[in-house]
Amino acid sequence: MRRKALSHSINREEITKVIFNGTRTPATEFTAPVLDGYNDSIPGSDVLKFDIQKAKELWAQAQSMKPYDASKPLEIATNSDGGNKEWIDAIANSFKNNLGLLAEIHSFAQFADLLDLRQSKSLPGLASSAWQGDYPSLYNFLGPVWETGAPANLEKFPTLTSTGYYMKDLHRRTLRRPTPNSTKRRKFCLRSCPGCPCGKPISQ
């Protein structure tokens, strides 16, 4: 619920237009818009829409179940060698202005430093991340990143292990077209918010 509140507090349209000068498009699901099978109307995709009122409502609901100590900053780790400063600043300001949260950014000199923190499970809070698919398929933006046990799922977020979607798609002759597995994966990610995708490069 808190992850959804944070997601709703982010103005992706403004970030992609102002900070990235229109070279990215606001994320509407967990894959890239240039891929066959991309769908910006998957049930649950509204969690990626900027909605301050919804963000506040969800945060309040979460507070009623387990209060968050607002005196402690919400820490965001990032790397300064990846051109992340401006958009991470914007997201931190979104949390502050729209949810009243004090966000503190920890900037590391190199991506390797941030990766070490993630691999050692030593993150103090949130972390910036990016993914460049090496094959133009929906699978390449889902399986290697969000499947439990997948190489890029460094935080070990429990997603779709029991269903074996990752292995089922690996055995398909083509991975370009959408499959029931990829749709279920995307619905699950939108429902559980293991991450908050911000923008996708238009040329990707």
pTM of the shown model: 0.88
Q: List all residues 6 or more positions away from 106 whose beta carbon is below 8 Å from its beta carbon.
A: 75, 76, 77, 78, 124
pLDDT tens digits, 79-137:
988 889 999 999 999 999 999 999 999 999 999 999 999 999 898 899 998 888 888 88
Residues 6+ apart with CB under 8 A from 39: 29, 178, 183, 186
Name the residue among 116, 128, 132, 168 with its Cα closest to residue 147: 168
